[in-house]
Structure 1
Amino acid sequence: MDVHEVVEETLARLSDGDGVWISSFTAAELHARADEIDPARPLAGVPFAVKDNIDVAGLPTTAACPDFAYRPERNAPVVQRLLDAGAIAVGKTNLDQFATGLTGARSPYGSPESVFGGGLISGGSSSGSAVAVANGAVRFALGTDTAGSGRVPAALNGIVGIKPTRGLLSTLGVVPACRSLDCVSVFAPDLGTADRVMRTAAGPVAGDPWSRTGRRPLISAPRVGVPESLDFFGDAGQEKAFARFTGDVTVDIGPLLEAGDLLYRGPWVAERLADLDDFLKTHPDSVLPVTRRILETGYAFSAADAFRAQHRLRELRMAADWIWQKTDVLVLPTIGTTYTHAEIAEDPIGRNLNLGRYTQFANLLDMAAVTVPNGFTADGRPASLTLFGPAFSDETLMLFARSLTVNDSTAPPRTSPPAAAGGTTG
């Protein structure tokens, strides 16, 4: 398909779904970009979206807070690498304000619904990025993932979500949530596209103190672990969907869950204030009440609390590391249950914690993760798996993910994403 045809098809889909986009380039700007593209580049003509807490020159960065918005002078390095590879940045997508939440229902720009409808939440905080991929507006999208924001929306929209090892993708030019834990994530309709985007965007960036490199040996036949027990919050459909998957060994994930609890119930919530404290104090009414309520819990923690939590996390990390003595890949359901927007409105904080039950420990424990669809429940809701490994096991996780197949005739249809110019559809 000609690159200008790709642009036109993308433009035609920008109105699909309410609350997905915050801003976008004009048709003239996108066609001008198309004229500049070298067709020999690895991502030539591939349209993509960027979560609106990541800088894209020419568009404002809002973090879903209009009064916080600024206009960056340059692209975030991770965006620039994709542009250099020939991809076309279409615009900025909606998110839970300041990337604080897993529901997709915490934005003044609207609350996107899952592509599967029925009032189902899209998941957050990278809500718009996931929906823009799932509804076919773009071929891939960038999100961020601190507590599960690159995995929960993927699960709720039936797509692939990559939460790489911390530091593999630079977080320069990203509005911090928890700076020590933040990751840039990748959404795609398939593993091939996700892998190509990761290989293009990854690598150290000068001046980024959180940038890292590393690689573990590729394991072609990994030992696969599954939890000894799980809580599906009364959702028999999700429980049955996960039961379709079997592993080689069972493991105790208690240390992982306790570590995850430290993120929102411990002093790591105070790390969000390290970057947002001044804005929160000077513009309290600019922040959504639920977001402000969460951020303000950070004021209750002392420096001693922070050190105690760090000491406990070190103990939990040692316990978690024993998992990798008997397994190479740990497989969990991405989420234990799904919620509608109405259900989230009834209990926005408690049900948000449920959504993060099997995701929010990953960055605290320095794990890599890959989320893939796992068919559907009998009533048509999406199910999903997340594969975990230790830091720098990303290639093993991708290889194992490619070996998985889902055979579920209850799968509802989804719109196919647009083809990319030059045949680079993956």
Structure 2
Amino acid sequence: MTLTWSLFQGYTLTQWREYYAAQPERISDIFDAFTREQNNDDCAWICRADNAALSAQITALQTALRQGEKTLADFPLYGVPFAVKDNIDVAGMPTTAACPAFRYLPDHDATVVARLKAAGAIVVGKTNLDQFATGLVGTRSPYGAVPNTFNPDYVSGGSSSGSASVVARGLVAFALGTDTAGSGRVPAGFNNIIGLKPTKGWLSTRGVVPACRLNDCVSIFALTVADAWSVATLAGGYDAADPYSRQHPHTAPARFTDAPRIAVPDRLEFFGDAQSEAAFSRSLAQLEAMGATLEHIDFSAFSELAAQLYSGAWVAERTVAVGKMLARDPDEMDPTVRGIVAGGLNYSACDAWQAEYTRAGLARRIQQQLARYDALVVPTSPTIRTLHEMAQEPVRYNSQFGTYTNFTNLADLSALALPAGFRADGLPFGITLIAPAWHDLALSAFGVRWQQAQSLPPGATEKPLAPQTRPEIGKDHVRVAVVGAHLRGQPLNHQLTTRDARFVCETTTGDGYRLYALANTTPPKPGLVRSDEGQPIALELWDIPLARFGEFVAEIPAPLGIGTLELADGSSVKGFICEPQALNHATDITSWGGWKAWLARHHRA
């Protein structure tokens, strides 16, 4: 059979892995088909990878496999096509930031691109954007305005317009964007895809043309939350060569609480767009149907901070980023972008410091408000506009799009844009979940649940949503088995919950354990020990942030401690064990099968 690229449009990462599993050499045929089917009239692309660029990437992977240096398992993204926003460097491909006069040819990949290539992914092109990533509209580019994938009369959203478009149409499995004011979220909402806006500093910005360096993030577009999370974990991590890269503090929860508390703005503005307002109301009802409790909060600090990004001295950061271009070739810049960037010259150093003080105060208020909740939910954008409307009011309508996005990076928050159905006119509508920094995993875990519950065809592919698995914990969390006073409803459970530990499931140990009720312990506690004549013992699994694990262990009194337990499925986790001498005066309660069962029988007796 002759392979065509269209056969693979809309594949998830899992489907790509399954395709290559039996025959990794298929990779050459796939990308031959890709080059044959290129559409040179597609303004979502600024530059496509040519045969030489694709062959170089493919040859590096095949050579590593043939020579035995690597196996397919070493390349979790083997042969997966991805696109890169054209303000992120790819070695050997020009970077323009959508300004031809700014064009240069980088010698090195941006850190995130290098990490994804090392995982086996193949860069197939650079995508269009609002020039210098200044805009949320997708129209401010000399390479053309990228149309909405559902109705070409409407905007695609920006600035990462091209990246969102090629993902929504299934041309690539994922794409890199950037997000300073919402550029990784608004185009996701307008095109029915996922937009993961990670915590600042998790994904390196080395090799990225800056917009506002203090607030820039590399973002991920994908068809599923699970794919976005997988890509982020492979691209992310500390980069010592990036002065704004940050070490993960290992303090955030792995998931939302069992009954999530989600904040909603007390004042919602849709700028007269009744269709978006109705769509958001439906989304709130769906969140409640999933077990969430919604609570309205004062949104004034969020709105005040959002206004700071373009209405105050923060705009001067954009002037710093492209000041040389502004001074050298101002006429080569998009007129709207030039006007915004030139506005930064109106502010003094004193204005900039005062803007930072204002930002810090508002950010603290926001973080204190959100500390009581699992997340904040907002419309990704309160409205959408046609290309004609945007041409009439380019600044005002752009500002509307940023109503619920502009504050996020200024307040050091993480965010996940999710599809949320369609408006009455057939255009996509999206919501965004926003949480404190480093809550990316918790957002993604809930995002998988949300997307599966919605079960919408991803993007504009018209394909059924593929099954997803919830993101697994990694090195940032420890899975702990508890068998007694730390179980749910027991007196020491708070030692877990106050450290943001999250319940996973109930299960049992393997066969080789006995359980004892220890003497003279307050509150009453059991002791679990290995035994050749044991049986399965009921327990609960909890995921606790790694940085809080030591605090938890420090509170455990003798004769108990933490060791390694074998579970019924054969896996091993950290869990409670007991010193043997404590069993001399203990009561063997193994036959009850668990601490709660023994307590219930004991109290009835």
Structure 1 residues 138 and 9, CA gap change in structure 2 (3 angstroms): farther
Q: What residue in structure 2 maps to residue 197 of structure 1?
A: 231
Cα shift at 1:413: 8.1
1:117, 1:412 → 2: CA distance? Answer: 16
Cα shift at 1:16: 8.0
Cα shift at 1:13: 5.4
Give yes or no for the alignment of 1:240 onto 2:306: no
1:280, 1:16 → 2: CA distance? Answer: 30
Where 2:394 maps in the other structure, the secondary structure is coil
What aligned pairs does 1:303-342 form with structure 2 within 5 A after superposition? 303-342=349-388
Q: What residue in structure 2 maps to residue 217 of structure 1?
A: 253
**Residues 5-55 of structure 1, C-alpha deviation per residue, up to 9 Å, x if partnerless?**
432454355428731111121134314422332433100000000000000
1:126 counterpart letter in structure 2: S
Report if the CA contact (8 A) 2:418-2:451 is conserved: no
What aligned pairs does 1:63-142 form with structure 2 within 5 A after superposition? 63-142=97-176
Give yes or no for the alignment of 1:414 onto 2:460: yes
Report if the CA contact (8 A) 1:51-1:144 is conserved: yes
Q: What residue in structure 2 maps to residue 422 of structure 1?
A: none
Structure 1 residues 5 and 56, CA gap change in structure 2 (3 angstroms): same
1:67, 1:130 → 2: CA distance? Answer: 25
Cα shift at 1:406: 7.2
What aligned pairs does 1:338-353 form with structure 2 within 5 A after superposition? 338-353=384-399
1:79, 1:157 → 2: CA distance? Answer: 24
Report if the CA contact (8 A) 1:267-1:306 is conserved: yes
Where 1:206 maps in the other structure, the secondary structure is coil
Q: What residue in structure 1 maps to residue 42 of structure 2?
A: 18
1:174 counterpart letter in structure 2: V
Unaligned runs of 5+ in 1: 418-425
Structure 1 residues 13 and 151, CA gap change in structure 2 (3 angstroms): farther
Report if the CA contact (8 A) 1:75-1:173 is conserved: yes
Report if the CA contact (8 A) 2:194-2:221 is conserved: yes
Report if the CA contact (8 A) 1:179-1:271 is conserved: yes
2:48, 2:462 → 1: CA distance? Answer: 21
2:269 counterpart letter in structure 1: D
1:149, 1:299 → 2: CA distance? Answer: 24
Mean Cα displacement is larger for which, 76-85 or 407-416? Answer: 407-416
Where 1:144 maps in the other structure, the secondary structure is strand
Report if the CA contact (8 A) 1:18-1:113 is conserved: no
Where 1:363 maps in the other structure, the secondary structure is helix
Which structure's CA Rg is the greater one? 2
Mean Cα displacement is larger for which, 359-368 or 39-48? Answer: 39-48
**TM-score normalised by structure 1 residue count:** 0.94
Structure 1 residues 163 and 405, CA gap change in structure 2 (3 angstroms): closer
2:78, 2:172 → 1: CA distance? Answer: 14
When the two structures are aligned, how many residues end up with a matched partner? 418
Q: What residue in structure 2 maps to residue 298 of structure 1?
A: 344
Task: Give the alignment's Cα RMSD to 1 decimal.
Answer: 2.0
Structure 1 residues 158 and 26, CA gap change in structure 2 (3 angstroms): same
2:36, 2:378 → 1: CA distance? Answer: 37
Tell me which of 225, 229, 254 is aligned to 2:300.
254
Structure 1 residues 13 and 137, CA gap change in structure 2 (3 angstroms): farther
2:378 counterpart letter in structure 1: L
Give yes or no for the alignment of 1:359 onto 2:405: yes
1:400 counterpart letter in structure 2: F
Structure 1 residues 382 and 12, CA gap change in structure 2 (3 angstroms): farther
Which of the two has greater strand per residue? 2
% identical aligned pairs = 47
1:364, 1:124 → 2: CA distance? Answer: 19
Give yes or no for the alignment of 1:143 onto 2:189: no
Report if the CA contact (8 A) 1:373-1:384 is conserved: yes
Report if the CA contact (8 A) 1:267-1:301 is conserved: yes
Where 1:330 maps in the other structure, the secondary structure is strand
Unaligned runs of 5+ in 2: 1-18, 20-25, 66-71, 285-292, 464-470, 472-605
Cα shift at 1:226: 1.4
Which of structure 1's runs of 4+ aligned residues deviate more than 4 A? 405-413
Larger RCO, structures 1/2 (Cα 8 Å, 6+ apart): 1
Where 1:172 maps in the other structure, the secondary structure is coil
Cα shift at 1:219: 3.1
Where 1:30 maps in the other structure, the secondary structure is helix
Structure 1 residues 208 and 135, CA gap change in structure 2 (3 angstroms): same
Where 1:258 maps in the other structure, the secondary structure is helix
Cα shift at 1:321: 1.6
Where 1:306 maps in the other structure, the secondary structure is helix
Where 1:143 maps in the other structure, the secondary structure is strand
2:58 counterpart letter in structure 1: A
**Residues 126-181 of structure 1, C-alpha deviation per residue, up to 9 Å, x if partnerless?**
11111011111111000100000000111111100010000000000000000111
**Residues 58-94 of structure 1, C-alpha deviation per residue, up to 9 Å, x if partnerless?**
1011011111111111000110000000000011100
Where 1:187 maps in the other structure, the secondary structure is strand
Cα shift at 1:206: 1.9
Where 1:49 maps in the other structure, the secondary structure is strand
1:139, 1:163 → 2: CA distance? Answer: 17
Tell me which of 263, 266, 276 is aligned to 1:228.
266
Q: What residue in structure 2 maps to residue 30 of structure 1?
A: 54
Report if the CA contact (8 A) 2:169-2:459 is conserved: no
Tell me which of 378, 381, 397 is aligned to 2:424.
378
Cα shift at 1:410: 9.8
2:336 counterpart letter in structure 1: V
Tell me which of 172, 176, 184 is aligned to 2:206.
172
1:274, 1:59 → 2: CA distance? Answer: 25
1:8, 1:135 → 2: CA distance? Answer: 19
Where 1:404 maps in the other structure, the secondary structure is helix
**Residues 293-351 of structure 1, C-alpha deviation per residue, up to 9 Å, x if partnerless?**
11111111111211222121122112112222321211111000011110100100000
Structure 1 residues 199 and 122, CA gap change in structure 2 (3 angstroms): same
1:367, 1:321 → 2: CA distance? Answer: 8
Where 2:278 maps in the other structure, the secondary structure is helix
